[in-house]
Every structure is written in structure tokens, then in C-alpha cells.
A = this chain, B = another copy of it.
Amino acid sequence: MKVYPVIMAGGSGTRFWPLSRRSRPKQFLDLAGEGPLLSATVRRLPPLALPADTYVVCGPTHARAARRLLKGVPAANVIVEPCARNTAPCVGLAALHVAARDRKGVMLMLPADHHIARPDAFRAALAQAAGLAAKGHIATIGIRPHAPETGYGYLKVGAKLPKGRGRAGAHRVERFVEKPDVITAARYLADGHYLWNSGIFAFRADVILDEIRRAMPVLGEQLGAIQKALGTPAYKRTLARVFPDCPSISIDYGVMEKSQQIVVVPADFGWSDVGSFAALPDVRSTDHVGNVAEGEALVIDGQNNVVLAVGGRPVAVIGLEGVVVVDAGDAILVCKKDRAQDVRKAVDELARRGRDEVL
């Protein structure tokens, strides 16, 4: 069985400003100290899958950077979306490319900007999901929760799959649920039947295209138009015409939540979606009082801070706890750690002031 990883690298968040920019979004940042998240995502796949079989989907602004970064990935495997339309059109477009090469090829849909502490366990879970996918299932990876996280979607585990090879531990998904409030999240954690939705899926190209046609018939037709042009000189023009009209909907919402056929492989491989600067202590080494420090950071009488002095200047932090300080060279952020989600407010204000050169 050959698997085709498809790395979704179209994200353009603001939660890592001022490190992240429009021209250099999160997946291009070395947030975990292992190189850019996108490179690490490709690099942790072998021997399960090889770079030559790996696809990357991203926007036109980042295609060149992605190709330069991912030396082993063939340039043609970098699929360019003319514009961002969330994950359902992204998955559909990637499925067209994989299907053209291998109609029943097993796709592994992977976000480009996650961190995995235990790659061996990660690949084992992916291999099981891929095996289920090869048999026609749509498989997702559910992460065993260890905290009442409100920043993740959850899924509720249903019945065990009937016994069989490659099915140990796999279950049906009873339902997907949106990001909960903290009370609900605590209930999910205590219940034991809820897993974090990792956003990682495995399915055959033909299966997901069928599912899209059934659940999202309009998108199905749009993909059909693109498919006709695939491999012809009309492809780029057709894509540019059709893709912007595709519904901007996530694959979770558009397909997965409507299907009764999803199975889940529960797993625990030190997964983090690195959602904000506040997550860095989970994926980086800290000093003995919990500070993450990079560059010429001087943390004096302080603990549990994140200090990234990547601008080449000394950054002294005195008497503070739970604060994020980032010097990116041309812009500086100082933020209470529990407000790290609000970094976008600074980005919004700078946009309002027309300071595009730091956005």
C-alpha cells in the first residue's frame, strides 16, 4: 500500500505575530526548535511515506517558499490554491491530483503546523489509519485528551469496529463537536469517550471524492470541472476561474460531520497544534522555572515567561511572570500569556494604521 501525504499549508493566522507575517505564516516558523513546522511535518513521515509521494497545498504567495524549503518534494507536488477556501475545497483539489496518479491512492491529510513529540507513535497511528482507509474507510486520528482544552474540537467515540486485522482500538465516530466551553470540556474529559479532533484524516482519493459529491454536490461539480482540465494547458485558467467560487467550508463541517462512516484511531503521540505563543512551553525546552528563552534573552527574577529575542538584540525581562515577549527585529510584542489569543488585536490595529510592512 502506497500512501500519499497531503500537507495542508494554506494557513495564514496572526497569532504568532510579530514572528509570523503575511509572507511567512506560522507553518514557515521554527516554533518548536526543529526547523520550520512545515519541514518537520514532511521530515517525520518516512519511512511511512516518502517526500516524492508527498503533496503540499498552499496559496500562491507561499508556493515558492514551500518548494525551496522542501527539497525532496517534487515541485509539481506543491499544489497551489488560487485563494484560501478552507479545507473542503483544499482536500477535494488534492484528491484530484492524487487520483490522477493513483485512483485508489490512500491520502493522509496533515496540517502543516502541528508539533509531534513522539514521531514513532505518530507514524504507527497513521499507518493504522491508512490501512483502514485502504479498505474504504474514512479514518481520523483522535487524541486522548489530558486537559479540558477549549481550543480544540472534540469527537465522541462510538462502537468498536468488528474484529479484524488493523482494527485494534479503532472505533466508529459517533459525532464531531465544536470547541467547547470549559465546563463542557471538563465533562468531556471526565466522560472518557471524547477525543481531541487532530484534523488528521486518511482516506482513498476515490472515496473522499465520492463523499464530497454526496455531501457537497456543488463543490463536487466544481471539482469535476477542474478534474477535466487537470494535466491540460487549461488547468491553471480553469482553477483560477472555478476555485474562488468554491464554498469556503471545512472538511470537518462539510463532509465528516455529515457522514456516518467515519472511524477513529485513538492515539497519544505528544500532539500539539501550537495554537499560540502560550503553547511554546509544551513544545520547547524550558529552564528550571519554566521560562522559554531564545536568543539574547535575559530573564531576571521571572518565571513561566516566553522570551523570543530573535531580532539579535538583548531583551531584558525583569520581575515578570507568565508574559510573552517577542522581538522580531522590526516589531515587538509584549503580551500576558493568557491573552496570547488576542495578538490579532495588535495586527488589526496595525492594519488599521496602514503599517503593512510589519504585517
Which residues of the other chain, B, contact A332 by a CB distance below 8 angstroms? 309, 313-316, 325, 327, 332
> Hey, which chain B residues are within 8 Å of A301, CB to CB?
339, 342, 345
Interface status of A287 (Cβ within 8 A of chain B): no
From 236 to 267 in chain A, residues with beta carbon under 8 angstroms from any chain B beta carbon are none
Known contacts A346-B300, A349-B300, A316 near B339 by CB under 8 Å: no
Q: Are B314 and A335 in contact (CB under 8 A)?
A: no
User: A324 — nearest CB in chain B belongs to which residue?
Assistant: B318
- Does A318 contact B346, Cβ atoms closer than 8 Å? yes
The answer to whether B300 touches A318 (Cβ under 8 A) is no
Interface size class of A (residues with CB under 8 A): 20 to 34
User: Are the C-beta atoms of A330 and B313 separated by less than 8 Å?
Assistant: yes
Q: A334 near B331 (CB under 8 angstroms)?
A: no
Pairwise interchain contact A335-B358, C-beta atoms closer than 8 A: no
Is A177 part of the binding interface, using a Cβ–Cβ cutoff of 8 Å? no
Say how far A16's CB is from chain B's closest CB, in angstroms: 13
| A335 & B349 in contact (Cβ 8 Å cutoff) | no
Q: Are A334 and B316 in contact (CB under 8 A)?
A: yes
With A and B bound together, what is the CA distance between A327 and B339 in angstroms?
21
Whole-angstrom distance from the CB of A311 to the nearest CB of chain B?
8
Q: Which B residues are CB-close (under 8 A) to A315?
A: 331-334
Write out the residue numbers on chain B whose beta carbons fall within 8 Å of the beta carbon of A298. Answer: 346, 349-350
Residues of chain A from 278 to 322 with CB closer than 8 A to chain B in the complex? 296, 298, 300-301, 309, 313-320
Interface centre among A309, A313, A317 (most CB of B within 10 A): A313
Q: State the Cβ distance, A315 to closest chain B Cβ, in Å.
A: 4
Q: Name the contact of A331 in the complex, choosing from B313, B319, B343 (C-beta under 8 A).
A: B313
The verdict on A355 contacting chain B, using a C-beta distance below 8 Å, is yes
Q: 1/0 per residue A1-44: CB within 8 Å of B? A: 00000000000000000100000000000000000000000000
Having A318-B339, A327-B332, one finds 11 other A-B pairs with CB under 8 Å, namely: A300-B345, A314-B358, A315-B333, A316-B331, A316-B332, A316-B333, A316-B350, A319-B335, A320-B334, A320-B336, A332-B332
Q: Which 3 A-B pairs have the closest CB atoms?
A: A319-B339, A316-B346, A319-B336
